[in-house]
Structure formats: C-alpha cells, structure tokens
Amino acid sequence: MYMRLGNLDAARYVFDRMPDVNDVSWNTMISGYVRAGLFFRSIELFCRMREEGVWPNGFVLASLITGCNRLALSVWHGIEIHALVCKIGLLADVFVSSAILHVYGTYGFMSDARRFFNEMPVKNVVSWTSLMVGYSRNNQPKEAVNIYQQLRREGVTCNANSLATMISSCWLLEDEWLGLQVLAHVVMYGLETDISVENALIAMFGSFGRVDDACYVFNRMEECDTISWNSMISMHSRNGDCEESLRCFYQMRCANVKPDSTTLSSLISSCSCVENLEWGKGIHGLVIKVGRDSTVTICNTLITMYSLTGKLEDAILVFHLMHVRDLISWNSMMACFGQSGWCTDALKLMVELLGAGERPNHLTFASALAACSCPETLLEGKLLHALIILMGLQANLLVGNALVTMYGKCGAMGEAKHVFRMMPETDLVTWNAMTGGHVENEEREEAMEAFKLMVDLGIPFNYITIVNVLGACSSRDELLKHGMPIHARAISSGFESDDYVKNSLLTMYAKCGELGSSNFIFNGLETKSVVSWNAMIAASAHQGCGEEALKLVVGMLRAGLELDQFSFSAGLAASASLAVLEEGQQLHSLIVKLGFDSDLHVMNAAMDMYGKCGKMDDALIILPETSKRSRQSWNILISGHARHGCYEKARESFQEMLDIGMKPDYVTFVSLLSACNHAGLVDEGLMYFGLMTSNFGIAPGIEHCACIVDLLGRSGRLVDAESFIREMPVSPTDLVWRSLLAACRTHGNLEMGKRAAKHLLELDSSDDSAYVLLSNICAINRRWDDVEKVRNQMQSYNIKKKPACSWIKVKNRVSSFGIGDRTHPQAKLIYAKLDELLQRIKEIGYVADTTFVLQDTDDEQKEHNLWNHSEKLALAFGLISTPEGSTIRIFKNLRVCGDCHSVYKFVSQVAGRKIVLRDPYRFHHFSSGLCSCSDYW
C-alpha cells in the first residue's frame, strides 16, 4: 500500500520491523526504490538481502540492473550482477538478459553486448531493441540498421522503441531514403501516433531540412511532451532560425510543458551568432533564474555560444564557475581558446585537464592539436603526438587528420607526410589537409601533385579541395598553368556556385594581377555573403588598392552586413597601406564596440595599422600581454620600432621574445636587420645576420641580403657591399642592386654605380630608378655628357621617372601634391607660405643642399627647383590648414630627399610644431629642430 502511494519512508519503516521477511518483501522494497529513482538505496538493500542469504528473482535483478544503468555507476557493478545471474541460472529470463545487454550498450562495450546477444537462449523484441539502441548511442548507426534488418528477417514484430531507434539511425546516417522506408514500416505497424515514434520523426525530418514535414507531424500529435518540443526547438536551431526556436519555446511555456536542460541548451545553440547574442544572454539569465546554471550540458552550450560570438571572457567566466565539468566542457573551452587565437591558453588547459585526472579522448586531442597552428608551437604538437601514441589513439581518423593539419600549419610537411603514410585509413579531410599544408608552406607544385594524385586515385574532391588548390596559384604563369584549368574543373564539377569557391576564385585572380576578373566575379554574385565581401576587401588590399578596399568596407556596412574578424583585419591592412589614421581609428572603435578586441588576429592588424600610421604609442597601448602574443604580434612590434628608428626598443623586444621561448622567423629578422640599417649599426646587423642561420636555422632570403647590402652601402663600405653580393646564398634581385646603386649615389661612386645600374637594367630594362640614380651619380661627378646619355636612353626607351607625390589629410579630406604642383585651390597661399618659411629658416642657418636637383642649372634655379618638391608643398599646406600646436602628418611615395629633410627640421623649430613624415622606408619624427632618425636614413 505504502509503495503504491509513493511513501517509501513509511514502507521502509514497516519493512524493517517485519518479524518474517520473505523474498517477495525484499523484491517489492528493492523495486520500489528503483522506480522512485533511489538507486543507491536499492543497491544497499540488495547487498543486505544477499548477506541474509535471500536469492532475488528475475524481476528484481532486471530492476536492479536498470538502477545501475541510470545511476551511471561503474560498468563493474553491472558485470557483478551479470555474474550473479549466471550463478543462479537466470540467463534464460529474457527480461534480465535484456537489461544486462542494455548495460553493456550504455557503457560502449558493443563487442561484449553483441557476443552476449548471440549467446542469449531466448530473445524478444526488447532484446533486439536494446542492441539497436546500444549501437545507435555509440555512433554506430550502420550496425543498428543491420540489426533492424536481421530482426525483420527473423519475423520479430517491431515495437515503438525499435522503430524510433531505427529512425534515429537514419538521420545519423543522413540517409533520407532509408528514413522514408522506415516511415512506411511505422504506418504498416500502426505506430504513427506513438509519441516516441513521432518525436523521432520530427528529429529526422528536421535533420534533413524538411521543416514542413516535421511541423506536420508535430501539429497532428495528440499529446506533446518535453521531447517533442525539444525536437522542434532543436530543428529550428540547426536551421539557424533563432526566431522560430524562441517562438516554439514561448508556445511550450504557454502549454505548461516544463523545459529541461535539453530545451535550454537548444535555445542557447540557436543564439550562437553575433546578431542573436542578446537573446542568448537573455536565455543565460533564465538559466540562472531557474537554477540550471550548474547543469553541465547547459554550461557547455553557453561556452560554445560565447566562443562563436567572440565573447571569450564570458566563455572563460562560465567555465571557471562550473562546479562540475565533463570532458565536453574541457574540449569546448579548449576549442574556444584555439578559435580565438589564444593557443597558449588552449595548451595550458590541456595540461590542467591532465592534472585533473581527466582522460582525454580523440576530440580533446583534435582541439589541442588545432591550437598548435604556428611553427613556434611545433614542440607542443610533437608532445601531443607522443601522448596520442601512448594512449593508442594514433589510428583514429579524426586524430590523424588533426596531426596532418597541425604539422602543415607548423611548417613541418615532412612529418605531415609521414603521418599521412602511416594512417590506416584516409578520407577527403586527410587529402585536403595535405593540399592545404603544401599551399600554406608555399609548396605550390607539391599541392598540385597531391591534387592530381587524388584525381588519379578516383578520390572525390569537394569545395575545400578546390579552395586549397586555387590558393596555390599566385602568379600569371601559375594562373595559366593551373588556375584557369582548376576554374574550368570547378565549373564542370558544379562547385563554381559555392560561395567559398567563388571567393577563392576572385582572390586567385587578384593575386595573379587580374583584379578586373575578381571584380567581374564579385559583381556577378547574386547574394554577396560576408565571406564574399571579405575576399574582395582582402584582394583589393593585397593589390595595393587600399582606397577601394575601404570603400568595400563601407559598402559592406551599407548592405546591412556585420563585419567579422576577417573584414576588420583586411580593412585595417588597407588603412595601414594608405596610412589613413582616422579610418583606422574608426575601424578600431567598431572592433571594440562589437567585441572583437579579444581576437588576437584583429588586434595584431590594429597594432600594425597604428605603427604604419605613425602612432606607435597607440600600438603599444593595445599590445597584448606577453603571454598572449603570437609570433606575428612580436614581428609587428619589432617592425614598428624599426620603422620609427627605435633600434634599442626593437632589440629589447627581440630579446624579450627569446626570453619567453618564442622562436623568431624569417620576418622577425627582416625587421631586426631593418632596425640596424636605419640606425647605421653595421656590426650589430652583421651579428644578427650570422645568428639567423647559426642559432635559429633560418636560411637567408633576398630581403635579409638586401638589408645587409643597404647597411654596408650607406655606411660607406661599398666594396664590402659589392663583395657580399657576389657571395650571397641567393641570386641577387633588382632590390639588391638598387640598394647598392642608391649607396653609390650617396657616396658618389661612379664606377661601381655603373656596374650596379648595368646589373639592375639586365634584370629589368624598364626600371626608372636605375636611370635616375645613375644620372644623379654622373651629375654629382659633373659628368654632364654621361648625364645627357642616360637621359637620351630613357627617352629612347620611353621610360619616365616615377613622379614624386606627397599627401596630407586635413578635415577628412586628402590633399596630394606633385612637384611644382599649382592645381590646389589654395596654391597661392601655399607658395606664399613657402616663401615665408624660406626666409625664416635662412635666418637660423638653413643652406639649400642643391645636390638633390639637376646639376646643369644655375644656383638660383637649383634652389627654386628644390622648393617645388612635393613634401615641401604638403608641409606648407599643413601649416596653413591645421590648428597651431597640432601635429602635422605627411606621407610620400618616394624616399625623402636630404634638403627636404633639413627643411622639415628647421620648420619644426621655427613653427614650434611636431611633424611626422612617412616615406616607403621609415618614419621621421621632427620636433624642435631634430629628427628621430638622427640624420641617418
């Protein structure tokens, strides 16, 4: 009686005081605890029953096994009961056997479950269904289907649970046709109105995107339970329809159906994008209100939501507030760090996970390996590889693919190939990881060979494969040899309509110098996604069309699209190339507003922008803390200091980088050598050049060699510079010979200048700088016949000197000036200001340096020509157009001439203004008659 009424305490009181307790009494009491969910009490009572020598019957054992299962006790409890069942001879009891089978399935011991099933003397539909459920829950839907087919062949009548399990297996297999066949069986058995079957059908139709069919099933249900509503909410969530998910939730509450953790998790998942984040925060508030904020599954979903919406700090907070974490919690947080570029934190979390005694699985290692995405994390990647081997997971396909990807991103393609060869099975992801690794490491021919091998082996490729191999084409020759044939293959295979392929096509054509083709593809897109805009912005920025890139950013916003981390990075790169500080600052403000200031890649781009716009102090303000910096962060910091002539700060940053164990790369040494070059530190530069190879194993490239030639040449060591070129480990390019020629112009070395010009013109006969510099050297040496000869050569080849241009931005408007430019509306005021400046600076010692103009004219004409230089015109305009005391920022497309440099110093003194001048080589900060370059540039 008390049991039926649910009063277990009263029932136990009577039970404990019974003078004679028989097996019925024991069985009744134990079964009552199991039904009430008090599984610990049922096991405690069972142990007491055994101590008193009472044998349980099949009904009690079946109940007890169910209790072990639901309590998620160790599988050993289930095995112990299995042994007892064998001992007392109850294996023939189909209910007991089916319960044992279910335990093995629950804990993933499917081979044991199958063996036990085959040995069962009696089977019924419950037994068959238990085995199917085990396979389905352990992600083996094919085996579940096989069992279903065997069940039907043996003439066993299906029940609702077996059909519901089969339907679930169909959507796990993504086999829509099979699902429709099972639906016919449902109708045949007359179970289409069973609630478990209906719930499974809703989930299946939802997974296949058949929203109308799922809604039809739902709307005709006589009774909807929590699972029914959860299936609908989950369906809308998977289809990205947050509004419908929320509407279903509202209707669920109106129907007085109580939501559970699955409901709330599905709702949170539907809000996992920036535009729905506020709804997600609202659901988070509801979770706290109803006391579900300690539920592990809900917290895991919250971590994912905040990660996908760029709210890394919120994800970290949720993770740290969790009282209990499961492996999914650790995996989700690790993936969150990796996606945000916080690779060090992801790896620290892996260490913390191991320290907490958690056993990582294949997903854990996949997330940890994803955090090893640059060469400085190669050692960590190898340690993870060793741990994978120790745990016997190296044969797992997902882990193998993650290893290939990791080694590719870390620049270790030899190791990637070894893992690839050792994998027992490969799939399309493996091949894509290989082609992508080759492309990322600029092994373009190897990428194309891998693609051809894929095709020859009959491995079907997908849009990612096409995207990878298109990335291997970056020159006109490669465009003709590979790019266009791949474009044709994309059309023939039907992948041209894919947005990612289209974006890769427009990027490829832009990289190959065909920006017109990129524009044609972009304008032909029916729907321009965020990815399409990003690709076009990046392509424009890459081709030096910064102004067009910024216009595209504005166009993207006007189209109602939200900028993401890629949009911001490309937009900031365009701002940096144009040195337009205001636009860069506006993008930075938007970054902070939208919460992307936690994204390392975006903040690196912002740092680079500030550095290239002359605001190194602002770059240092947003510099990530030391532990968060990537190698790119360090490279940007060092190159920024170098660009601004701060050698000591560049050297200190380099040393700090080494102290924390960050390995420098090719770009690091380009920046470091550039810093030495700007400071005229020859010995230091040569020392770093030697260390690059001896200590860090970095082969010198053409940029490193050009820095050394420029460093030696500008210091007057022209013979050493020429000798270095002869002994260079790489063939000298126009960049190297131009550096030597410029040094010959500075020091007036005519004979070496002629040799350098000869080599430069052999590489590029249309290079105007070769003629101009050689003409200047001849003029300095007063070789007027040679000057005339060089000029005639230029005319005969129709080569014109690249015109100098300087520009300044005042009140959001850019004003540009050429030599002797009088087209500006304020030209009269500008030239009047120049006359005034000339008189004022002459009074404090200015003398015109006429070596920077044509020499075959009189001194007065030379001085007049000097004062027509574009940077002087921009300076005069800046003085008359900006408030007293404000900093003037001017940009020039060519290296500033020596006389203009002197004028800027004098003007900064007489006008009491700070002037920042950026040319293609560096920044000059003028103040109180001095320049940051110390007159060495």
Cα 734 to chain centroid distance, Å, stands at 35
pTM, two decimals, is 0.61
Is residue 151 over pLDDT 90? no
Q: Report the pLDDT value the prediction gives residue 39, as an integer from 0 to 100.
A: 57
User: What percent of the chain lies above the pLDDT cut of 90?
Assistant: 31
pLDDT digits (tens, 9 = 90+) for 638-668: 999 999 989 999 999 999 999 998 889 999 9
Is residue 705 over pLDDT 90? yes
Cα–Cα distance between 347 and 330 in angstroms, integer?
Answer: 11
Average pLDDT over residues 27-44: 65
Is residue 447 over pLDDT 60? yes
pLDDT digits (tens, 9 = 90+) for 179-219: 888 888 888 888 888 888 888 888 888 888 888 888 888 88
Q: Report the pLDDT value the prediction gives residue 925, as an integer from 0 to 100.
A: 92
**Cβ proximity of 202 and 217 under 8 Å:** yes
Q: Which pair of structure tokens corresponds to residue 928?
A: 């109180």
Q: Report the pLDDT value the prediction gives residue 339, as an integer from 0 to 100.
A: 78
CATH number of 224-324: 1.25.40
Top mean pLDDT of 355-359, 624-628, 929-933 is at 929-933
What pLDDT band is residue 94 in, cutting at 50, 70 and 90? Answer: low
**224-324 and 700-802: identical CATH topology:** yes
Mean pLDDT lowest for which of 288-292, 758-762, 907-911? 288-292
Cα–Cα distance between 674 and 704 in angstroms, integer?
Answer: 9
Is residue 273 over pLDDT 60? yes
Top mean pLDDT of 160-174, 403-417, 785-799 is at 403-417
Q: Report the pLDDT value the prediction gives residue 880, as an integer from 0 to 100.
A: 95
The identity of residue 162, as a single letter, is S
The per-residue DSSP string of 399-420 comes to HHHHHHHHHHHTT-HHHHHHHH
Q: Report the pLDDT value the prediction gives residue 567, as an integer from 0 to 100.
A: 93
Q: Which residues are within 8 A (CB) of 662 and not within 5 positions of it... i.e. 6 or more apart? A: 376, 629, 631, 634
Angle at 655 between CA 650 and CA 660, to 5 degrees: 125
Tokens 């950026």: give the residue: 918
Average pLDDT over residues 254-272: 85
Q: Report the pLDDT value the prediction gives residue 72, as an integer from 0 to 100.
A: 44
Average pLDDT over residues 86-93: 58
Nearest to 216 by CA among 642, 309, 518, 204: 204
pLDDT digits (tens, 9 = 90+) for 382-394: 999 998 998 888 8
Q: Which pair of structure tokens corresponds to residue 273?
A: 């994008």
Q: Which residues are within 8 A (CB) of 598 and not within 5 positions of it... i.e. 6 or more apart? A: 310, 311, 312, 313, 340
CATH domain 700-802 topology: 1.25.40
Tokens 């003439």: give the residue: 155
523, 647, 692, 861, 904 from 655: Cα distances, Å: 48, 12, 14, 51, 34
Q: Report the pLDDT value the prediction gives residue 42, as an integer from 0 to 100.
A: 64
pLDDT digits (tens, 9 = 90+) for 466-508: 999 888 887 777 777 888 888 888 888 888 888 888 888 888 8
What pLDDT band is residue 703 in, cutting at 50, 70 and 90? Answer: very high
Contacts of 330-335 spanning 24+ positions with Cβ under 8 A = 330/358, 330/360, 330/364, 331/361, 331/363, 331/364, 331/367, 332/300, 332/303, 332/304, 332/307, 333/303, 334/364, 334/367, 334/368, 334/371, 335/307, 335/367, 335/370
pLDDT digits (tens, 9 = 90+) for 331-373: 888 888 887 777 788 888 888 888 888 788 888 889 889 888 8
* Secondary-structure percent of the chain, ordered helix, strand, coil, rounded to 5: 70, 5, 30
What pLDDT band is residue 869 in, cutting at 50, 70 and 90? Answer: very high
What pLDDT band is residue 52 in, cutting at 50, 70 and 90? Answer: low
Q: Report the pLDDT value the prediction gives residue 293, as an integer from 0 to 100.
A: 80
Strands (E), 152-283: none
**Cβ proximity of 498 and 463 under 8 Å:** yes
**Cβ proximity of 167 and 200 under 8 Å:** yes
Please state, rounded to an integer, the average pLDDT across all residues of the chain. 84
Q: Report the pLDDT value the prediction gives residue 22, as an integer from 0 to 100.
A: 65
> Domain locations in the chain?
224-324, 325-426, 700-802, 806-931
Nearest to 341 by CA among 649, 677, 529, 602: 602
Q: Which residues are within 8 A (CB) of 492 and not within 5 positions of it... i.e. 6 or more apart? A: none
Top mean pLDDT of 271-275, 468-472, 605-609 is at 605-609
Higher-pLDDT residue of 115, 599: 599
Mean pLDDT lowest for which of 78-92, 234-248, 494-508, 911-925? 78-92
User: What percent of the chain lies above the pLDDT cut of 70?
Assistant: 88
Average pLDDT over residues 45-69: 62
